[in-house]
Amino acid sequence: MAKEPKYRLNPQTLMVELKTEKHHRLLKALGVLIGGLVLFALYVWLYGHVLGQDLPKTAILKRRNADWLSRLEQIQGRLDRDGDVLSLLEVRDDRIYRSVYGMDEIPAAVRSAVPGAESRYPDLAVLDRNNLLRRTVTRLDVLSKTAYVQSKSFDEVSALAAAAGDKAAHIPAIPPMDPSPGSFNLSSPFGVRNDPITGDGKMHTGMDFACPPGNPVYATGDGVVILVESDFYGYGNHIEVDHGFGYVTRYSHLADMYVYVGQPVKRGDCLGTSGRSGRVTGPHLHYEVLYRHEYVNPAAYMDLTISPEDYAAMVRKPFRR
């Protein structure tokens, strides 16, 4: 049996109207909503796939992304120019400034290495598809480290330059023993020779001053004692002095050693006495000069014709610990 229609009085029009069910209104609203969604989906499909156009919001985001990419590319260009300037400073620093003062070059790994630089920003790996942002940030880290190392290097060079006036006093420039006639005999010069024990040809890295045990051995330049050691099979009792500016001297086969590690010494201070300790065939002083870790001929750094009086004026009496 069909339901009887229901009527209601419209208070605004004062007319009797057919009363509709509430759920009918909900269905009508739902239909309108679904229809709107269908039309919107159709619009998106036609606009994006048929016409090949971006949606307005997508277009805005793409423009913003392109703007940021352009800025990052400009930053990359600036980083390239800054890197070139730093490279020139590094070359000048290593080959001119540090070389003049006998300082070692700074290895490239020390100048620019940033441990774990490639994995320091894991969050950017998700956001940055082409890795441009992460590469830019990583380059900034490397350049910052390089600039810091270069700044510290210039500080070191500046400090050494301030003391450059003392360089003449630090370079080993006198014989290590009294050059009075008869005080010693130059038994072996610098260069290749036959080893006195094995007879094999071998590089002799210093000069041998053959003399009786007990001859005073003097520092040939200002510096700091960096080694006092006894070696039964090699240098025997030996002392090393760091003179700065890349110079180190070694005094070997000593009988007595009067200094200690860390002790400042002046040119002419007595370091010990000659002997026959270590691997030797007779008593002598083996004297070496190293410049920037390379052996050089000690004869180039001394005047063996100096008068005993002038030499005596430069040296001081032995001091003992």
Q: Please tell me the predicted confidence (pLDDT) of residue 214.
A: 93
Q: For residues 114-123, give the mean pLDDT.
A: 64
pLDDT band at 321 (very low <50, low <70, confident <90, very high): very low
Tens-place pLDDT, residues 141-175: 888 888 888 888 888 887 777 766 677 788 898 99
Report pLDDT for 35: 72
3-state secondary structure the chain: CCCCCCEEEECCCCEEEECCCHHHHHHHHHHHHHHHHHHHHHHHHHHHHHCCCCCHHHHHHHHHHHHHHHHHHHHHHHHHHHHHHHHHHHHHHHHHHHHHCCCCCCCHHHHHCCCCHHHCCHHHHHHCCCCHHHHHHHHHHHHHHHHHHHHHHHHHHHHHHHCHHHHHHHCCCCCCCCCCCCCCEEEECCEEEECCCCCCEEEECCEEEECCCCCEEECCCCEEEEEEEEECCCCEEEEEEEEECCEEEEEEEEEEECCCCCCEECCCCEEEEEECCCCCCCCEEEEEEEECCEEECHHHHCCCCCCHHHHHHHCCCCCCC
- Is pLDDT of 320 > 50? no
Residue 4, pLDDT > 60, answer: yes
What's residue 45's pLDDT?
66
Across all residues in the chain, what is the average pLDDT?
A: 81
Q: Mean pLDDT, to the nearest integer, of 177-197?
A: 86
- Map tokens 């006198």 to a residue: 174
Average pLDDT of the residues in 78-99? 80
Tokens of 204: 């002799």
Taking alpha carbons only, the member of 107, 105, 106, 103 closest to residue 246 is 103
Judge contact between 94 and 105, C-beta under 8 A.
Answer: yes
Q: What is the pLDDT of residues 255-309, one digit of tens each?
A: 999 999 999 999 999 999 999 998 888 899 999 999 989 999 999 888 888 888 8
| pLDDT of res. 66 | 76
In this prediction, residue 80 has a pLDDT band, given cuts at 50, 70 and 90, of confident
Higher local confidence (pLDDT), 131 or 78: 78
- pLDDT surpassing 90 at residue 82: no
